[in-house]
Amino acid sequence: MNRTIVLIKDTAGTGDATREAHAQWVKKLRDAGLDGTVQAVRAADLGIYNAGMAVKILPEGPCYVNVRSEDIDRIIETTLKQGTVIEELTRHTVVEQVRIVLRNCGKVDPENIDDYLGVGGYQGLSRCLFDLTPEQVIEEVKASGLRGRGGAGYPCWLKWSLARKAFGDEKYIVCNADEGDPGAYMDRSVLEGDPYAIIEGMTIIAYAVGAKKGMFYIRAEYPLAIKRIQLAIDKAYGVGLLGEKILGSEFSFDCEIRLGAGAFVCGEETALIASIEGRRGTPRPRPPYPSDYGLWGKPTVINNVETMANVSYLLLNGPGDFARMGTEKSKGTKVFALTGGVRNSGLVEIPMGTTLRSIVEGLGGGSADGKPIKAIQTGGPSGGMIPAEHFDTPVSYEHLQALGSIMGSGGMIALTENDCMVDIAKFYLGFCVDESCGKCSPCRIGGFQMLLLLEKIADGKGSQEDITSIRRLAVAMQKASLCGLGQSAPNPVLSTLQYFMKEIEEHVVEKKCRAGKCTSLLQYVINPQACKRCRLCVVNCPVNAITGDRQVGYTVGQNVCIKCGKCYEVCKFEAVDRR
């Protein structure tokens, strides 16, 4: 007999309410004589927040919110016995994930090709090879409106048709799996969770472009991804899905892996090509673009992992559903790695046009510790901070760019009141300074000088002139740098200047850091009135900076203190002041 499950969870926060409701449900189900077929279960998380008592009926039943105990009888009578949905209790979903790229992640065994074939895998390629001309494949992708998911959002069909028309019979496809943005791991998850979808997408692009050879450029820090892609390539060769005459057609395609040695700049396409060719990974000026003059001087298409996973979906299901989702210029879905101060960090795939607020508050469950989220960082070190007043902006390439950030590859970090914006800007700029290849001076010198100025501000030694200098350096870097790394490195700093000027001025004028992150501006002082002389701070201080005894009380030696904040955390009487 098929069993029905009633999942119960109090979404307002207090744990005991779920237990009480569960007990009521168990009793009422027993009274109704349903306890043999219906089980009430306390859920850990229903993905619903601040909506009172939530009840979800499985399989495929409705989801009710703000359920009061007097509603239970009604739900049992109407929904469980008669199968009718109670409209006024039904939750109307604000935001829902739609999974295209992640369609098989968590579903198929990444090391078993039969699993992938079982969910319609390689049917799209088969359709291309036998029913469509390369031009028709490009047309379908054009109709879908797919744009590159690596960050810049260049239309895929255009890139491919340029490479198709380019002179020469030897062409290459490269999958850019050199994912390096701090806090972004969408590509890793797809590589590890659904490797065949990427290989199929790559093969389809090769067919459309007329390439015979493909390469995965994967960063060496992703050992499991490398292992699974290699295994997938081997198995695909074994069953004739790679190599000579794929599926018995006239089309042949070879594929191999090249490892990146961990340089962030190698995600830039010309640096990536240099790295594959065995040269030092530095970018070169464009044009000529890789679609004309790429790997070994041959026409090359470079697409990101997520783009390729989209392609295998598109050629299987057609462009219709994909093109219906999203905004006018940004179609389909985007995967974000949601991290930072949110309750639920993880991967979310949402249709373009979903607002930032619904991602962070709906899917992310809002702030983890109750402190308001003051900004969202998108696009990693090339992106910017988006302040709370712009959280209703829909996610699309254009909208994010208008706010001074970028879509990027999909990192999304929620920043709360615990985060200092100067500190965050310093972190991202520091990352770019570390990763700058040093080839062009605006990026090599400009970035370093800008970082020094930011450090000065964080140390409380900054002045208004420093802010002006930062702006000038930022503009110079944006205009004169050779590649995307240098051109976009000032973005986190500029967006901080744009939206969080007040916080910077506090550092400069009042010499204060409200988040308590800039340690030079802090002082930990023990308040003798509140201190109970328990010695907890003395015991916990890692540098023995706290001296004194039970008679005279304790003081923090400011010249020894490293401002780790341990005393502040451990004090049970709030006797340690942070100022």
Residue list 86-145, contact with another protein (CB under 8 A):
93, 96-100, 102-111, 114-115, 117-123, 126, 129-130
The span from the CA of 321 to the CA of 75, in Å, is 35
Taken in order 94, 99, 102, 103, the sign of the CA dihedral is positive
Q: Which residue's CB is nearer to another protein, number 330 or number 339?
A: 339
| Smallest separation (angstroms) from another protein to the CB of 395 | 17
- Told to check if 58 binds another protein by CB under 8 A, we report yes
| Smallest separation (angstroms) from another protein to the CB of 342 | 9
The span from the CA of 31 to the CA of 10, in Å, is 23
- Told to check if 247 binds another protein by CB under 8 A, we report yes
Contact 27, 50 (CB under 8 A): no
| Smallest separation (angstroms) from another protein to the CB of 81 | 18
Q: Footprint of another protein on residues 266-325 (CB under 8 A)? A: none
Structure tokens at 505: 């001025």
Q: Which residue's CB is nearer to another protein, number 130 or number 296?
A: 130
Structure tokens at 363: 């899917």
| Smallest separation (angstroms) from another protein to the CB of 191 | 9
| Smallest separation (angstroms) from another protein to the CB of 90 | 13
Sequence-ordered list of residues with C-beta below 8 angstroms from that of 180, at least 6 positions apart, any chain: 219, 264, 267, 435
β-strand pairing of 172-177 with 213-219: parallel
- Told to check if 59 binds another protein by CB under 8 A, we report yes
- Told to check if 46 binds another protein by CB under 8 A, we report yes
Of 13, 14, 16, 44, the residue at the interface with another protein (CB under 8 A) is: 44
- Told to check if 43 binds another protein by CB under 8 A, we report yes
Q: Footprint of another protein on residues 163-202 (CB under 8 A)? A: 185, 188-190, 192-194
Q: Footprint of another protein on residues 205-224 (CB under 8 A)? A: 222, 224
Q: Residue 133, Cβ neighbours under 10 Å: how many?
A: 11
| Smallest separation (angstroms) from another protein to the CB of 255 | 16
3-state SS class at 241: coil
The span from the CA of 512 to the CA of 521, in Å, is 6
Choices 27-35, 234-242, 417-425, 444-452; region in contact with another protein by CB under 8 A: 234-242
- Told to check if 1 binds another protein by CB under 8 A, we report yes
Decide: residue 220, CB within 10 A, 0-12 exposed, 13-18 middle, 19+ buried.
exposed
| Smallest separation (angstroms) from another protein to the CB of 442 | 36
Q: Footprint of another protein on residues 329-368 (CB under 8 A)? A: 343-349
- Told to check if 45 binds another protein by CB under 8 A, we report yes
Q: Footprint of another protein on residues 503-532 (CB under 8 A)? A: none
- Told to check if 17 binds another protein by CB under 8 A, we report no
The span from the CA of 461 to the CA of 236, in Å, is 60
| Smallest separation (angstroms) from another protein to the CB of 530 | 37
Q: Residue 50, Cβ neighbours under 10 Å: how many?
A: 11
The span from the CA of 485 to the CA of 180, in Å, is 12
Q: Which residue's CB is nearer to another protein, number 87 or number 131?
A: 131
Choices 173-181, 201-209, 242-250, 515-523; region in contact with another protein by CB under 8 A: 242-250
Taken in order 12, 15, 16, 19, the sign of the CA dihedral is positive
What backbone torsions phi and psi does residue 176 show, to the nearest 5 degrees?
-85, 100
Max CA separation in the chain (angstroms): 91
Contact 258, 172 (CB under 8 A): no
Contact string (CB under 8 A) for another protein, positions 60-79, x = contact: x--x----------------
| Smallest separation (angstroms) from another protein to the CB of 197 | 10
Give 327's DSSP letter. Answer: -
